[in-house]
Structure 1
Amino acid sequence: MTDAETTPTTSSPGGSTDSTVEPQVKHMKWWGWGVEGVSFRHDDKPKFAAFVQKVIDLDVTTPGNPMLTFEELPIPEPKVGDDVLARLRSTLGEQHVHTDPMSRIVHTYGKSLRDLVKIRAGILPRVPDVVVYPADEDQVQAVVDLLVESDAVIIPFGGGSNIAGSLEPPPAETRTVVSLDMGRLDRVVDVDEDSGLARIQAGVLGPDMEKQLNARGWTMGHFPDSFTHSTLGGWVATRSSGMQSDKYGDIADITRGLRVVQPGKKIVIRPLPSTSTGPSVREMILGSEGRLGVITEVTVNVHRLPEERLVLGYLFPSWSAGLAAMHAISVSDASPSITRVSDAGETAFSFATRKKSSGLSSVVSNGLMAVLKRRGWDLDQVCLSFIGYEGGKDHVARQRSMVKKIVSEHGGIVLGKGPGELYDQKKFDTPYIRDFLLDRGAAGDVSETAAPWSKLKGLYDNVVASAHRAFDQIGVKGWIMCHLSHSYHSGACLYFTFAFKQDPHEAIAQYDVVKSAIQQAFIESGGTLSHHHAVGTEHARWLADDLSPAGAELMGGLFDAADPGHHFNPGKITG
């Protein structure tokens, strides 16, 4: 687990996003994850520097490399006609239509490794010309109608956290490109308490949404890694999953109703519990990445706040034992909210990112490892697990008991509340470490997939082997690690993290070699191209392999029929 803290940062290249003239809407740094003043630090983690030096031959104690300042970015002038600009300002109010450089740069990319390398190097083949902030669905409709009539391109924008290339304007696009930021549509509109349904505007950020729901005694239970900086509409548009999806389902399970603006009309999906009305239009919109219109409102399942919420830490003697335990839990009567287990590599990384322990906790930790070693455990193969429980006290107690029995049957032990509480506190901080590594010339990124239980271990082995062949191909010492993050009846999600020291002159080319090897191994091993990060442009080349050529053709036909002028986020998913 990493540790992001509010600290003075010396690596910021200036140009704070605080200058963006939309005080109601929060934005991340233009050059990295999160907000200014919050960053990963290593000096209070005594094992971290040695670990990184060992696994990717990088000295993290050196200062970060300089990058372009905001003032040095080669930002092109906006390409927008005076008439279109005047009509947008008349519709929304002048203060909600932006052509200033900071607004446009903040909305140019998402937060993939490729995005960050390009923005830090000033690679800007196409920047949005205008950024607009509608206040409600009527204004969204007016803007969409105006822009389609003007033959402009519309890219819906939530929190900007996407890492699949779903936000970048097409490099060769000659038409006016408008980023339609949904950040002002940020309210929980209504809660149907009898049905457990909430109507929520699509632009609300995760923490703001949960705060509003919690005040009424409800939760949606959806907590992706990007939770702090992503929106409900973005979750729907990318088919997001959260850390507690084992209990609450992913966003496709949670979403019941939708409102989507298209030119001159709206799609309205009523929040019915189940229907038999032909192919599901709701499912067509889920994961559509803005290509079918602008999602303005979502009706979701919500649940009463649980009486008790608990995350416990566990330890397994091997990755195989951990996977087998998660499988056994998934087919048992137990119903935890979180089932997560890390491989030995990620477990070692987690231990290396701990702060210095002292006193009793240090003695207990060292004593436990000594006991396990005497039992015959290979301490280089131990795997850390987190399992969560929610509900009434009796329910949680029964779940814990059932899971403990399964864990014991697979050779595991219970670590208790301490590690689980730490995981719960730091679960949204991990992306900050990528900026820290990138500052020092190393690529760190993720790829995730899902596969049936019968294929999971073979897929894992193939991906790790493929990544190491790719590291050898580009001549670097690389690292890859993994955790199982979501369990289902028939399979699970495996989430891989990889890192290596880059050649600054070949950064993107090297990244392509490694990323492609991992993604190709997913397909060849029976997995999907992505479990919850979406397709975008990053994964589009594997779409036909995943869905079959006929399936990809059907999807392309859907987009062409719904948007023949290719006004809505063109180039995403199907290319």
Structure 2
Amino acid sequence: MNGVQHQKWWGWGVEGIAFNYRDKPKMAPFVMDKVGIDLSAPGTPPPAFEEIAVPAPRLGDELAVTLRAAVGDEQVVTDDMDRVVHTYGKGLADLVRVRAGDLPRVPDVVVYPADEDQVCAVVDAVVAADAVLIPFGGGSNISGSLTPPPAEERTVVSLDLGRLNRVLEVDESAGLARIQAGVLGPDMEEQLNARGWTMGHQPDSFRHSTLGGWIATRSSGMQSDKYGDIADITRGLRMVQPGKVVVLRPLPSTSSGPSVREMILGSEGRLGVITEAWVNVHRMPENRDIIAYLYPSWTAALAAMQEISTSDAHPTVTRVSDANETAFSFSTQKKSKGVSGKVQKVLFDVLQRRGWDLDAVCLSYVGYEGGDARVKAEKSVVGKIVKKHGGIKLGRGPGALYDQKKFDTPYIRDFLLDIGAMGDVSETAAPWSKLQDVYSGTFRSAKEAFDQIGCRGFIMCHLSHSYHSGACLYFTFAFAPGTDVAAEQLEKYWVVKNAIQQSFIDTGATISHHHGVGTDHAHWLEEDISTAGTDVMVALLRGVDPGRNLNPGTILPAHREW
């Protein structure tokens, strides 16, 4: 119809791609040992879509006519599949609910504008009708930013920006590109690469998320150590509001009062609809390498990561997994058909004879880009730091494998749901001085939560996105709720998720480093930015959208909505 491709209505990614553990001989024993989950248990696949009862759309004739006049008859869609696809993001709770047919409020219509003028017409029509508008990019959000409020009685319009998918121009002198907000990561990079440029932004959701979505949630990417977070990359933008368009030129820096650009970053559709942005772009690097290292302990790994962040080296990626995540990573290796498996065994035997505790080792990846001399120099600097902290170099092989598989992890979550298990993530950021306390406190809180719900659970962590003052800690947790009832599964899930999020606050970290606030994290906003800070945010959102027509219910805790 319009060429816009969507993810599965019931899970991550596209049809035909799924996680398979059977070619990973160590994984099933590992999972059984850690959480008592039998990966070979008969799974329960998602129901057929026809089994889901979808509420009828509530779209009045007058608004329908206005929308069709704005974008064309074929771009105003009310069929059940399209509406369900636009109901939830891809968070764990989203997937449990949609698989269970829990659809208390579904968008009444999905609209596909072709350009900014059409976006303006749709926004004006929605506000004039006192309806609700929710911008939609790739649908990969995992913090509850896309779902209509369950009690919303007004017409809900999902505005899908998938047709705004082009790189419009490149300012080669300034290293800037003007790009439409609805472009997916791979399509954007393909267009930029054809001109010899890259933006370098690679979040986990890269294949299924958009530039506008990255800006709206303050996204970060795996290569942010070099290229910056999306807040650093975005230099200018255009955003449609009722009756007007905010235009921010792509300036390197400005002192024009409080930053409107910063206000829009992370606004999750509550201030308007982002239609395009000017972003930093870079020439394609001459060399690109991901090197794997191994540390004897998490303490040594943290110290090395901090030293690398303040060294003369400027890697693209600095990531290290704790012992639990390292063990999990090793368990997902395919059976070696050559000498690599023997080499690994010999290496581990040598390390054990040296006194290493193999249950405590931590796997790290560091990425390098640039000319030969620069890459060589940075590898030398990092290599000396790794050695100083007791680590060793594993080489390119494991690094290349990580680079190939880095976007595939979310498929594991769908597989776990099929066999009655739950896996999810929570990420945060804190100063270097607090990272160990945040790490320990989160593990302690998760264990207490697992005990409270009576389930064996597993939690693991990696450090990534290093900054001058601190870094991101990214936690993954899993457990089997022991029930097939969605409401009971979610009740147990929220005990664990809430405990982890609260531990972030209690140990001096933030509620989210790059997933955004949405509804899932809004409860902690006042503890994160203070009540007075929340007052400022309420005043901003209410001043722009007094009628609560723009994605209401996200970001602010429920008691602060007007």
Using the alignment, how far apart are the partners of 2:453 and 2:87 within structure 1?
Answer: 29
Q: Report the aligned-residue RMSD.
A: 0.7
The amino acid that maps onto 1:504 is D
Match of residue 551 from structure 2: 569
Matches within 5 A, 1:105-254: 105-254=84-233
Equivalent in 236, 244, 253 of residue 274 of structure 1? 253
Matches within 5 A, 1:146-545: 146-502=125-481, 503-505=483-485, 506-545=488-527
CA contact (8 A) 2:225 2:315 kept: yes
Using the alignment, how far apart are the partners of 2:353 and 2:319 within structure 1?
Answer: 26
The amino acid that maps onto 1:71 is E
Which range moves more in the overlay, 359-368 or 218-227? 359-368
Q: Deviations over 1:76-103 (max 9, x none)?
A: 1000101211221122111111000000
Q: Percent identity?
A: 68
Secondary structure at the aligned position of 1:207 is classed as helix
Using the alignment, how far apart are the partners of 1:149 and 1:381 within structure 2?
Answer: 60
The amino acid that maps onto 1:285 is I
Report the Cα offset of residue 134 of structure 1: 0.1
The amino acid that maps onto 1:75 is V
Secondary structure at the aligned position of 2:532 is classed as helix
The amino acid that maps onto 1:263 is P
Match of residue 10 from structure 1: none
The amino acid that maps onto 2:484 is P
CA contact (8 A) 2:10 2:46 kept: no
Using the alignment, how far apart are the partners of 1:42 and 1:139 within structure 2?
Answer: 46
Where does structure 2 lack aligned partners over 5 or more consecutive residues?
none
Match of residue 548 from structure 1: 530
Secondary structure at the aligned position of 1:479 is classed as strand
TM normalised by structure 2 equals: 0.98
Using the alignment, how far apart are the partners of 1:527 and 1:438 within structure 2?
Answer: 30
The amino acid that maps onto 2:217 is T
Match of residue 25 from structure 2: 46
The amino acid that maps onto 1:450 is A
Match of residue 4 from structure 1: none
TM normalised by structure 1 equals: 0.96
Report the Cα offset of residue 62 of structure 1: 1.7
Report the Cα offset of residue 66 of structure 1: 4.1
Q: Deviations over 1:330-381 (max 9, x none)?
A: 1111111100000000000000111111321111011000000011000000
Match of residue 14 from structure 1: none
Q: Deviations over 1:367-406 (max 9, x none)?
A: 0000000110000000000000011111000000000000
Using the alignment, how far apart are the partners of 1:46 and 1:139 within structure 2?
Answer: 53
Match of residue 13 from structure 1: none
Secondary structure at the aligned position of 1:168 is classed as coil
Using the alignment, how far apart are the partners of 1:359 and 1:258 within structure 2?
Answer: 51
CA contact (8 A) 2:294 2:362 kept: yes
Which range moves more in the overlay, 497-506 or 35-44? 497-506
Equivalent in 55, 64, 70 of residue 85 of structure 1? 64
The amino acid that maps onto 1:52 is V
The amino acid that maps onto 2:417 is L
Using the alignment, how far apart are the partners of 2:10 and 2:178 within structure 1?
Answer: 34
Equivalent in 37, 47, 52 of residue 73 of structure 1? 52
Secondary structure at the aligned position of 1:83 is classed as helix
Report the Cα offset of residue 68 of structure 1: 2.6
Q: Deviations over 1:405-428 (max 9, x none)?
A: 000000000000000000000000
The amino acid that maps onto 1:242 is G
Secondary structure at the aligned position of 1:39 is classed as coil
Where does structure 1 lack aligned partners over 5 or more consecutive residues?
1-20
Q: Deviations over 1:444-482 (max 9, x none)?
A: 000000000000001100100100000000000000000
Report the Cα offset of residue 553 of structure 1: 1.4
Secondary structure at the aligned position of 2:236 is classed as strand
Report the Cα offset of residue 67 of structure 1: 3.5
Report the Cα offset of residue 238 of structure 1: 0.1
Using the alignment, how far apart are the partners of 1:30 and 1:181 within structure 2?
Answer: 15
Using the alignment, how far apart are the partners of 1:380 and 1:133 within structure 2?
Answer: 52
Runs of 4+ in 1 over 6 A off after TM superposition: none
Secondary structure at the aligned position of 1:484 is classed as strand
Secondary structure at the aligned position of 2:124 is classed as helix
Using the alignment, how far apart are the partners of 1:63 and 1:211 within structure 2?
Answer: 40
Secondary structure at the aligned position of 1:482 is classed as strand
The amino acid that maps onto 1:547 is I
Using the alignment, how far apart are the partners of 2:204 and 2:430 within structure 1?
Answer: 21
Report the Cα offset of residue 255 of structure 1: 0.2
Report the Cα offset of residue 227 of structure 1: 0.1
Report the Cα offset of residue 65 of structure 1: 1.4
Using the alignment, how far apart are the partners of 1:66 and 1:196 within structure 2?
Answer: 47
Using the alignment, how far apart are the partners of 2:144 and 2:96 within structure 1?
Answer: 13
Matches within 5 A, 1:25-64: 25-64=4-43
Number of equivalenced pairs: 554
CA contact (8 A) 2:201 2:222 kept: yes
